[in-house]
Structure 1
């Protein structure tokens, strides 16, 4: 499983995805949305 993630991260598509996540996490509004989403997931688990 971890090997698949590593391979994806090294691929061009993975690099694009990582860059999009970095940009989104720099935006305070997006960060708040992500926090809310993660807290919902944790409550379900």
Structure 2
């Protein structure tokens, strides 16, 4: 399982459990991963 997919699964579990702090943390992590991907595309990296 890819890193991004594991974070998504963890976020789903945290949402079901009602753990707001964990959901927020996982959302920040996934947002940082997306930002890194966008920045890499701007530099010509896949």
TM-score bin (small chain): 0.3 to 0.5
Relative contact order (C-alpha < 8 Å, sep 6+): which is higher?
2
Question: What is the TM-score of this pair, normalised by structure 1?
Answer: 0.46
* Structure (1 or 2) with the larger CA radius of gyration: 1
